[in-house]
Structure 1
Amino acid sequence: MFCASPNPLVSSMWNLKPRALTISSSMEPKIPHVLSVAGSDSGAGAGIQADLKACAARGVYCSTVITAVTAQNTVGVQGVNVVPLDFVEKQLKSVLSDMRPHVVKTGMLPSTEIIKILCQSLREFPVQVFMKEALVVDPVMVSTSGDVLAGPSILDSLREELLPMADVVTPNIKEASRLLGCAPLETIADMRSAAKSIHKFGPRNVLVKGGDLQHSSDAVDILYDGKEFFEFRSSRVKTQNSHGTGCTLAAAIAAELAKGSQVPSAVKVAKRYVETALEYSKDILIGNGNQRPFDHLLKLKGSFCMPHLFDPQDLFLYAVTDSRMNKRWGRSMIDAVKAAIEGGATIVQIREKDVETRNFLETAKACLEICRSFGVPLLINDRIDVALACDADGVHIGQSDMPASIARALLGPTKIIGVSCKTPEQAEQAFVGGADYIGSGGVYPTNTKENNPTIGLDGLRTACLASKLPVVAIGGINASNAHSVMKLGLPNLKGVAVVSALFDRESVSTETRTLYELLAESTRVVS
């Protein structure tokens, strides 16, 4: 479990740079930015307030355009005051013309005129992330308490004007039913049919949320991209603290898209985040009604130690330890890990091939303590038993290890799972099995694995294009070739995994710092 007090010295490439590094501002990648266009919830469980908190929890900046001000609490909605059209337009122009968000996420759009102004504004100031339009539409129509927030004319505008511009639309089963003329949705098969029908309105992806689906023990969401269906399942958390889950899921998806994730991966990460927040918040008492808010930042229980939820940006500089190299340089694994983190490593994998389990476990526990003091996730290579015993943040497994699906069943929903993959088929199996990312390589020859065939930059490109998950490049990567890897400019290529270039050197911190700076510069050039 990761105690929620990360050291500001180390953070991901998209957030604040490590203070120990001296990187000029011109080298820093752009901060991912979501613009939320939605209504204000005075109870702060849904709407603009939920979007702000969800984006903050996912490490993304969020600006806002308020379309309506509501008076509501845990009992229901007591009043709605629509913001004048000309002022909505001014807000949109203010943000879009200056701050250039990567993704726009919509919530409550209380009039057809506001929808028209939004569409006009998006045509005047196109929003893109990695050269792709990015608009997430959460078609808010009815509040949790049953108050109608969108009439028939608004439904027509959504279908005819906004949905054709959307990258992702995220209706729950009630909203999907209304978009389709009140067609009943009672089964997962109905949800699939609805997603396919809504896709005909023009959005590139449709996510039908099944949290309200009756007679289902799991919370099942169905994603359709025009070619295939994806099914996402999570445990159904029994709680009254669920107000704003729809807004939050859509905002979290927008946040992951702003970081460059592909849609299936963004949905996977966002859904796991919401599930974790609901589980954490199920006993929090706020208000006297039945639609209570939950804690997006997992802070209200004070000393609670939250899991280090997977963030694709953690893969930026992935340090893989090697005890043999550390011995050559006369340092301990613990000292090596600390030096790598101080140099800018964003995630650490402990790899021990020739060490007894007891010693491996003791080393892992000591390294985990260091990683948590800096807010950096720690993974264990191959050994799920060691990961469970020391409560590491996750594992990285190879094709000869147990399948990702079994690893997920053993580790639970919050742990990080990575899988080494060389082929598109292996990448697809990793996604289906519940992995969070894949490691693809070896890109270049390496002396850490004998007789390991390389895939080269072309093979890495093929793997990235085939993968629905974030990718970290592995194998023979160092300061001389890392730029060539990152300048491929593929949206889901999130970083490089390095062994010898860091740990088979006299100064681990210096080598890590140098590589971090090079990667930051390469990413800035590509973006």
Structure 2
Amino acid sequence: MPPYQSEFPQGQQGGFPPQEQRNFANEQGGDYRPGSTGNYGQGSGPGFAGGFRQGPGAGYNGDAGQYRQGPGFVQGQNSTGPVEGQWQGVHPVPEEFVKEQLRSVLSDMNVDVVKTGMIPSVGIVKVLCNSLREFPVRALVVDPVMVSTSGDVLSAPSTLAEYRDELLPMADIVTPNLKEASALLGGISLETVGDMCSAAKAIHSFGPRNVLVKGGDLPDSSDAIDVLFDGEQCHELRGSRIITRNTHGTGCTLASCIAAELAKGSSILQAVWVAKMFVESALNYSKDIVIGNGPQGPFDHLFRLKSRAYNAGQTSRFNADDLLLYAVTDSRMNKKWGRSITEAVRACIEGGATIVQLREKEANTREFVESAEACLQICRSHGVPLLINDRVDVALACDADGVHVGQSDMPASKARELLGPRKIVGVSCKTPAQAEQAWVDGADYIGCGGVFPTNTKENNPTLGFDGLKTVCLASKLPVVAIGGINAGNARSVMEIGVRNLKGVAVVSALFDRDCVGTETQRLRSVLVDVSVTRC
């Protein structure tokens, strides 16, 4: 099992990944999108076999929101179908031509991942399987488009059997909705999360390496719940249920995004999380769009190119505004003043700290984990994120909100791989090149300093205002300033004139004082006043 997957125990619930999709063509120059291969590998990305629909957003329209088209068939359908017999027509592409299309692409394009959609006949299933045996790919994503969201049966029983016997054993992941999972298992009823897990395990017995049962239509659920079975564990993945008519193509898009992420080297679980977040965000953005007169409309795959709010990452769990007053603990200072780590954390939060980093250089691992668990309870009760300094293992052990790493610590890319897309990753940076690398590696923010001389950290060069501003202007990520900052000079730091400087990180200004709460309140007052002025 890839190390990334180990963080998710059986039945874990959670929201969407906080930051994995930050790289969509944002206003600061990002050019990464799900489905692009960018510089992530030598292959050509994913290929596709499925169907094209002119208007409603599913099939090719859903898939093409993620990547280019491939072989399949042509349908006549609009926003009123497939509902109440509103299919206008289906024209399957001849099997021999599908075979030639597959050969043309797979023999030439170095395809990493293939994703299938609606396959209309036993013959085309056989053609696809034979082509993949002749031209193996790194991963196969099977979206068994057999039953539409509205309940229409899209594949004949013989095709269903061919799926089970031939295609599923070749799949790295299969992504049925509730109705499709039921059809694959002979019509069983799926009404609970437990039913979904049982169904995923049963479908896994057909041969696919992973099974994602999509629960968007789960009765009596206020959340959008999917269940992923990886052969060992059932991972319960929860997201927000978006109330909208514009849901046509969600399954096609989800599977296509999974394929795109796999083509870039993501693990199965990470790819699924990224895809879920993308679909939820797209639905939320598109929920009030009106296209067509039918009961089910399409959603906007390009929403991240159009919305400043989404470009800025405001749908993620990480909130850049939390960087305003960033408290970094110090065990030696707490010992000097006769306070425990939990007392220090509680005091700074009650004084107005907006995020806390636990830095324990002297504690052994067991002590560090125990302290982190106690501090996490305090932070969670106040809605304040808790990050762990350097120690990804401790963050995983206590389920902290994330980590902060330095240039000599574990690379941010590896921390992101281990923690997954739902956690916060911060990186210390002193140069524009380091800031750029932090963005590439998947960090959520950077810490930059020292702004002023400080004794808290040895051999820490002072950057001054000019150095801080240079890094801020080069960074695509939010920045928190650190190094010798206190209530007396915080205003001058925040007024250097760069909008992505979101706050200050402080150590001795809070914890090398008699009353942590009072000092935090003083600093918070200054920062809030500056924030109002900047607005």
Instruction: Give the shorter-chain TM-score range.
Output: 0.5 to 0.7
**CA apart distance, 1:417:** 10
Cα distance, 1:164–1:428 mapped onto 2, change above 3 Å = farther
Counterpart in the other structure of 1:194: 199
Return the letter of the residue paired with 1:119.
Answer: C
**1:168 aligned residue:** 173
- Given that 2:24 and 2:32 are in contact with CA atoms closer than 8 Å, whether structure 1 keeps it comes out as no
* Partner residue of 1:95 out of 100, 105, 112: 105
Q: Which residue of 2 aligns with 1:112?
A: 122
1:371 is aligned to none
1:6 to 6, 21, 26: 26
Take 2:109 and 2:102, find their aligned partners in 1: how far apart are those partners? 11
| Structure 1 counterpart of 2:90, from 80, 83, 87 | 80
Q: Kindly provide the amino acid, as one letter, of the partner of residue 116 in structure 1.
A: K
Residue 212, structure 1, aligned to residue 217, structure 2 = yes
Question: What displacement does 1:268 show?
Answer: 1.6
Q: Is the 8 A contact 1:273 1:309 kept in 2?
A: no
Whole-angstrom distance in 2 between the partners of 1:513 and 1:127 = 42
Q: 3-state SS of the aligned residue for 2:208?
A: coil
8 Å CA contact 1:241, 1:281 repeated in 2: yes
Q: Which amino acid aligns with 2:74?
A: V
Superposed displacement of residue 260, structure 1: 2.0
8 Å contact 2:59–2:117 — kept in the other structure? Answer: yes
The 3 A distance-change label for structure 1 pair 268 and 262 is same
Partner SS state of residue 38, structure 1: strand
Aligned counterpart, 1:426: 395
**Deviation (angstroms), 1:275:** 1.4
Is 1:41 the equivalent of 2:46? Answer: no
Q: In structure 2, do the counterparts of structure 1 residues 307 and 79 end up closer, same or farther at CA, with 3 Å as the change threshold?
A: same
What is the identity, as a one-letter code, of the residue corresponding to 1:143?
A: S
Q: When the two structures are superposed, what TM-score results if normalisation uses the length of structure 2?
A: 0.61
Other-structure match for 1:141: 146
Q: Is the 8 A contact 1:33 1:63 kept in 2?
A: no
Q: Per-residue deviation at 1:146?
A: 3.8
Partner of 1:367: none
TM-score, reference length from structure 1: 0.61
User: What is the match of residue 335 of structure 1?
Assistant: none
2:303 match: secondary structure = coil
The Cα of 1:212 is off from its aligned counterpart by 1.0
CA–CA distance in 1 between the matches of 2:183 and 2:424? 41
Q: Secondary structure at the match of 1:69?
A: strand
Which amino acid in 2 is paired with 1:38? G
Cα 1:400–1:494 shift into 2, 3 Å: same
Using the TM superposition, give the Cα deviation of residue 311 of structure 1 relative to its aligned residue in structure 2, in angstroms: 12
SS of residue in 1 equivalent to 2:69: strand
Q: How does 1:12-411 map to 2 (within 5 A)?
A: 30=42, 33-53=45-65, 55=66, 62-76=67-81, 77-128=87-138, 134-298=139-303, 305-309=309-313, 403=376
Q: In 1, distance between residues paired with 2:160 and 2:473?
A: 53
Aligned to 2:12: none
Partner of 2:68, secondary structure, is strand
Greater C-alpha radius of gyration = 2
Rate the CA distance shift 1:163–1:104 in 2: closer, same or farther, 3 A: same
* Distance change >3 Å, CA 171–CA 310, structure 1 → 2: farther
Distance 1:309 1:78, change over 3 A: farther
- Name the amino acid aligned to 1:176: A
Distance 2:259 2:33 in 1: 18
Which residue matches 2:516? none
Q: Give how far 1:219 is off.
A: 1.4
Deviation at 1:203, TM superposition (A): 1.0
Cα gap change, 1:246 to 1:353, in 2 (>3 Å): closer
* Range with greater deviation from structure 2 (288-297 or 142-151): 142-151
1:241 aligned partner, one-letter code: N
Query: What CA deviation, in whole Å up to 9, does each residue of 1:72-129 have, x standing for no partner?
Result: 011112211101111111221222222222221111111112112212222222222x
Distance in 2 (alpha carbons) for counterparts of 1:239 and 1:144: 14
SS in 2 for 1:65: coil
Question: How many angstroms apart in 2 are the aligned matches of 1:102 and 1:386?
Answer: 49
AA partner of residue 55 (structure 2): G
Does the 8 A contact of 1:471 with 1:495 survive in 2? no
Q: 2:222·2:241 contact (CA, 8 Å) conserved in 1?
A: yes
Tell me the CA shift for residue 515 of structure 1: 13
Determine the C-alpha separation between the residues in 2 that align with 1:68 and 1:87.
11
Q: CA deviation at 1:443?
A: 7.6
The number of residues matched between the two structures is: 400
Q: Which amino acid aligns with 2:391?
A: K
Q: Tell me the CA shift for residue 273 of structure 1.
A: 1.6
Q: CA deviation at 1:509?
A: 10
Letter in 1 for 2:63: D
Distance 2:45 2:351 in 1: 39
Give the gaps of 5 or more residues in structure 1. 18-24, 56-61, 129-133, 313-346, 356-381, 389-394, 445-453, 487-491, 517-527
In the alignment, is the contact (CA less than 8 A) between 1:471 and 1:494 conserved in 2? no
Of 199-208 and 84-93, deviating more is 84-93
Q: Is the 8 A contact 2:46 2:260 kept in 1?
A: yes
Q: Do the aligned partners of residues 386 and 15 (structure 1) sit closer, same or farther apart at CA in structure 2, a change above 3 Å counting?
A: farther
Aligned-partner SS, 2:271:
helix
In structure 2, the CA distance between the partners of 1:52 and 1:185, relative to structure 1 (3 Å rule), is same
1:429-508 aligned at under 5 Å gives the runs: 430=399, 439=403, 444=408, 467-469=419-421, 504=463
- Tell whether the 8 Å contact from 1:440 to 1:460 is kept in structure 2 after alignment: no
Structure 2 vs 1, CA of residues 403 and 296 (structure 1 numbering), >3 Å: closer, same or farther?
A: farther
Q: 5+ unaligned residues in a row in structure 2: which ranges?
A: 1-18, 82-86, 329-347, 359-371, 450-459, 477-535
Distance, in Å, in 1 between the alignment partners of 2:293 and 2:213 is 30
- In the alignment, the residues of structure 1 paired with residue 113 and residue 461 of structure 2 have an alpha-carbon distance, to the nearest angstrom, of 36
**Residues in 2 aligned to 1:45 and 1:213: alpha-carbon distance in whole angstroms:** 22
Secondary structure class of the residue paired with 1:256 = helix
Separation in 2, partners of 1:147, 1:13: 32
